[in-house]
Structure 1
Amino acid sequence: MEPFEGHGHWWLLGNEENKVPGTLKIDSSGGAELYLIGSLRSFEDFGESTTANGVTTTSFTQESMERSGTYPRIHGLIGTIAYTLEDCFQKRSARNLMGGIPTEVVHVNQVFKNVYYEEDEETVASGISFVPRHLSYWVRKGGLASSIRAPHERQEQESEAEPHISVHGYEVPSDDVTLTDGAELHLRQRLTLSGDGITSKEIKQLYYYRYDAPGLRHMNDLLEVASDLQDLVSVATNRTAQFDEVAFYHPEIKLIPEKEDSALKPIEFIARWNAAVNTPEKVPNSLVFGYEEFGGMNGVASWLAVAAKHRISLGRVMATRYSKSMPVSDRLLNRAASLESFDRVRNGDSIDFGARMARCANYAGGEFMEMVKNRRKWSKMVKEDRDDIAHNLGRSRETAEQIFLADSLYWLFILCLLKEAKAPREVFRSIKKYGEYSWLCTKVSTLVRAA
């Protein structure tokens, strides 16, 4: 996202008369801080007051000082735009007991733009739209075209204003599907113009998802659906599909409030996401599998049903992808635990861990068997490494070998989910041909054979 800096006034709910000027700063990763010239609470609020015999005594304790610097919800106004800042705490403060203007720096975990949420009001919405990075590269539905006309192709009767280079943006119809719970999911296109109009003028295209629930839902529930789709795009493109935009919709927040059939006004949502990249990734020129291969929106709907069933395990596996600093041993442990959970949910029995891994390998089918060759030998190696890490036995393999085993667990989990989602056969063929997967097949099969 683009960094943002806005100057406005800020106040605590129930204390609207104390509006404090300050600047909200949001960086490119979604991290937000509020810089205040003044204090949201008076000095007396930092202590605990008691009254006895007509005398009020204020005492200051460590607990009261910490509590006074915690702000569950802050309201603000920048120009004519309303802001609700959620889950905030004071990072720094400066206050002179002899006088002068105090200052505060407040850390903000979540920013809601275009709405005021009142005290104790639940953050609920009827829908969410979001842009996972690389989604446009995955769906590849067109919408842009260009043409160049050489000078000799121009007819004499044509005016000099006839374009030499033309770029066109075409509207692409929405892809829609109704989910089993009655919710609707839409894949939509957005075209925008950019450039200064003097040295450049270009058409930009992006695709985004819009999810509309059959009723009001807590925003965390809507974010879980968005996260499941983010994971799908990350798997399919082999990139981190971090959220570039997120907005919620509420039936009472309209673009034209007095108009009953007005479109809903987006409640922009900003936060620091776990799935984020600090340095730009190359665009995915090749895909693990494509949108059309996956079955379009029907395939996406099947993925959502399976992802909801295994959401905790999926989140755990994808966290090993999104976190670049996670140790290899933790990657292996988390992926192994997620596969164990997947198999337990699917089969509902109690068997040995190694047998679960072998059963998952068998369920994944030929593509994975081509990687490991011998599933019983491979599962024994995984069990040994998992026990070694979990119980600190000190018999760990070389780091490179452990990386290969950990990565085989990642692909096994993905193949199992795709199998349960009844992904088309073309998806598995595409994975088998994907360069990183075929390279890992060589490494893992060699490692298992040598064990």
Structure 2
Amino acid sequence: MANDPLNLDESGEWAGLWWLPDNADEQVPGVLRYDPEGGLSLSLIGAFEDRITTNPAPGVTMYHEGTRTWDVIHGAAEQREISLLGCVPTGGKRTMFAQVNSPDKHVLAAMTAIIGAHVSGEEDAAFSAAEVSVEDLGLWAASSVFTGFHGAPDGKIDGTGSIAVKPVEARSVVVDETEFRLKHRHTLPYFDQRKGETVGRMRDTAFVRAVPAAPFSAAGARETARLVQDLITLATHRAAGVIWLRLEVAGTESVLPDGRPAPRRHADVLYSPAALGKHDAKAIDDRRVFFTCESLPFEEIVPRWCETRGRLKAATNMILGLRYAPAHFVENNLLTAVGAAEVLHRGLRIDKKPFPKKEFKEMREAMLAQVPEEFRASFRSAIRNDPILRDRLHALAARPDQDAIALLMPDVGHWASRTTQARNDLAHEGRTPNHPVEELIAIVEVTTAVVILNVLHELGLPAGRQREIVQEHPQLRATARTAGKWLIAPSGVA
């Protein structure tokens, strides 16, 4: 439908006029094309001057000093205003002398397109609300406008039935002066007449609407989309792609002739998120979802996620990065997973100093007194009263539900010891000769699971649900089996 948001997994094309914001009188015709894989490309029939040259005196040779880029290009196409952000030239053909006079060709790439508004840049606070749809958001919302009925008198299906539609009340919560609403948008029923059949159709789309107290920018809207995307990625333990991002343009309020408020003007955002959503792909199996709004209500999980993500952002970014862009080498994953565990431990502020502060200071000064003066500064920075990695891993394993941890791995001490040795060998020697690849894979998966269980614990996921996840989630069940094989001390070894 014409008013539907623009899906990021669908190609598009807009033919129109394009200009630089500070030179609106010089407009150049061209075509903007969007491709999910290739991104945004503007082909101009003509050119913006992109050469940076000196200003020579008369008779002095002009020198070419580089190529210009543009923060913003404006356009008008398909009866909509368009802003292109982060534009760089990628090709074209410029002629100085030609036998036939014809326009130049100029090809530009853009990082972001805002279809429906003119803005002055990334930080232009031009929008009053953002709506974002993410893969499996409907499953996570645990709600739908649809209910179904099958006629089965006396326990036998008789071929009758119905699909009923009842609007779902929006769920809402305010976090840091931004209102987050979980909403549903559905179409009216219609019948698709085919050559050999008739299909009745309706669509229900779940999305999150964010309304800040003050207008925000395109950059702020993308960060809001990433906030929602990261939450669903954590909840589903897979990269949840952004399907569409739509903004409301601030200051476009109007009134219909009958006195009712008219819909505000909207703008669609085309960009490359951390993961691209497929709007027609089949939803994941609900057994692979860690939690939904049924187990953690929307009004509770959003504030907790905003607080936890802000406090532990480095750790959550690292661990979610393994979902968005998993590395092809186990060594990369090892450093990322263990690094996330260390960063998480620091972020939780649960450090326990190995020695009392006063005693440690006396010990360090006594040691430094034996070191030659020229090496003392280096030794001072090397002697720290911090827990070692093995201690940090033990502390993290002690925080979630202990029955869940016991189900995940049979030997916490052996996991912590082998993980520490593997990380140290790789970081200090550049290789892990004492660890089979299968053991490294087990270390990565178990460490990742421990970090995730800690984040879920911080979000308030009940202990019983933590145990169910380890027992029922296919990937964590496989992780537990791997841990039982590779991360348990041999008989007779402490």
Q: TM-score range by the shorter chain?
A: 0.7 to 0.9
Residue type at the aligned position of 1:237: T
Counterpart contact for 2:138–2:144, Cα < 8 Å: no
Residue type at the aligned position of 1:343: H
Alignment of 1:51-62 (within 5 A): 52=57, 55=58, 59-61=62-64
User: Which piece of structure 1 moves more, 394-403 or 273-282?
Assistant: 273-282
Which residue of structure 1 lines up, in the alignment, with residue 183 of structure 2?
188
Alignment of 1:83-232 (within 5 A): 83-99=82-98, 100-118=102-120, 122-123=124-125, 125-146=127-148, 166-179=162-175, 181-192=176-187, 197-199=192-194, 200-232=199-231
Distance 2:468 2:122 in 1: 50
Q: Are residues 114 and 318 of structure 1, via their aligned partners in 2, closer, same or farther at CA, if it must alter by over 3 Å?
A: same
Distance 2:412 2:150 in 1: 56
Aligned to 1:115, the other structure's residue is in SS state: coil
Q: Are residues 169 and 60 of structure 1, via their aligned partners in 2, closer, same or farther at CA, if it must alter by over 3 Å?
A: farther
Q: Are residues 96 and 194 of structure 1, via their aligned partners in 2, closer, same or farther at CA, if it must alter by over 3 Å?
A: farther
Aligned to 1:381, the other structure's residue is in SS state: helix
Q: Are residues 121 and 246 of structure 1, via their aligned partners in 2, closer, same or farther at CA, if it must alter by over 3 Å?
A: closer
Which residue of structure 1 lines up, in the alignment, with residue 309 of structure 2?
307
Q: Are residues 333 and 119 of structure 1, via their aligned partners in 2, closer, same or farther at CA, if it must alter by over 3 Å?
A: closer
Give CA-to-partner distance per residue, 1:73-111, whole Å, 9 cap, x none: 110111320000000111111122223321122111101
Select which of 384, 390, 412 maps to 1:354. Answer: 390
Distance 1:194 1:104 in 2: 46
Q: Are residues 325 and 102 of structure 1, via their aligned partners in 2, closer, same or farther at CA, if it must alter by over 3 Å?
A: farther
1:36 aligns to 2:32 (yes or no): no
Distance 1:120 1:295 in 2: 33
User: What is the Cα deviation at residue 142 of structure 1?
Assistant: 2.7
Distance 2:123 2:477 in 1: 52
Distance 2:126 2:484 in 1: 50
Distance 2:431 2:279 in 1: 35
Aligned to 2:25, the other structure's residue is in SS state: coil
User: What is the Cα deviation at residue 193 of structure 1?
Assistant: 5.0
Which residue of structure 2 lines up, in the alignment, with residue 156 of structure 1?
none
Distance 1:195 1:270 in 2: 29
Which residue of structure 2 lines up, in the alignment, with residue 399 of structure 1?
437
Give CA-to-partner distance per residue, 1:365-408, whole Å, 9 cap, x none: 32123222222221111111212222344225333322221111
Q: Are residues 165 and 319 of structure 1, via their aligned partners in 2, closer, same or farther at CA, if it must alter by over 3 Å?
A: same
Which residue of structure 2 lines up, in the alignment, with residue 160 of structure 1?
none
Q: Are residues 358 and 15 of structure 1, via their aligned partners in 2, closer, same or farther at CA, if it must alter by over 3 Å?
A: same
Distance 1:436 1:225 in 2: 29
Distance 2:273 2:123 in 1: 24
Distance 1:263 1:57 in 2: 59
User: Which piece of structure 1 moves more, 27-36 or 307-316?
Assistant: 27-36
Distance 1:12 1:185 in 2: 35
Counterpart contact for 1:10–1:22, Cα < 8 Å: yes
Distance 2:213 2:266 in 1: 18
TM-score norm. by structure 2 comes to 0.79
Counterpart contact for 1:125–1:218, Cα < 8 Å: yes
Counterpart contact for 1:143–1:170, Cα < 8 Å: yes
TM-score norm. by structure 1 comes to 0.86
Aligned to 1:65, the other structure's residue is in SS state: strand
Residue type at the aligned position of 2:266: P
Distance 1:182 1:429 in 2: 35
Distance 1:270 1:359 in 2: 43
Counterpart contact for 2:180–2:208, Cα < 8 Å: yes
Which residue of structure 2 lines up, in the alignment, with residue 234 of structure 1?
233
Aligned to 1:128, the other structure's residue is in SS state: strand
Higher alpha-carbon Rg:
2
Give CA-to-partner distance per residue, 1:96-155, whole Å, 9 cap, x none: 2223321122111101121111369635544321001111122231321345779xxxxx
Residue type at the aligned position of 2:487: V
Which residue of structure 1 lines up, in the alignment, with residue 405 of structure 2?
368
Aligned to 2:75, the other structure's residue is in SS state: strand
User: Which piece of structure 1 moves more, 373-382 or 138-147?
Assistant: 138-147
User: What is the Cα deviation at residue 273 of structure 1?
Assistant: 1.5
Counterpart contact for 2:236–2:290, Cα < 8 Å: yes
Distance 1:11 1:114 in 2: 16
User: Which piece of structure 1 moves more, 111-120 or 5-14?
Assistant: 111-120
Distance 2:84 2:312 in 1: 32
Q: Are residues 382 and 221 of structure 1, via their aligned partners in 2, closer, same or farther at CA, if it must alter by over 3 Å?
A: farther
User: What is the Cα deviation at residue 326 of structure 1?
Assistant: 4.2
Distance 1:120 1:273 in 2: 16
Q: C-alpha root-mean-square deviation of aligned residues, in Å?
A: 3.0
Aligned to 1:402, the other structure's residue is in SS state: helix
Distance 2:35 2:422 in 1: 40
Give CA-to-partner distance per residue, 1:250-279, whole Å, 9 cap, x none: 432447699995543332211012223799
The answer for unaligned runs of 5 or more in structure 1 is 151-162
Aligned to 1:334, the other structure's residue is in SS state: helix
Aligned to 2:88, the other structure's residue is in SS state: strand
Counterpart contact for 1:192–1:205, Cα < 8 Å: yes
Residue type at the aligned position of 1:197: D
Counterpart contact for 2:41–2:108, Cα < 8 Å: yes
Counterpart contact for 2:81–2:116, Cα < 8 Å: yes
Identity value in percent: 20
User: What is the Cα deviation at residue 282 of structure 1?
Assistant: 4.9
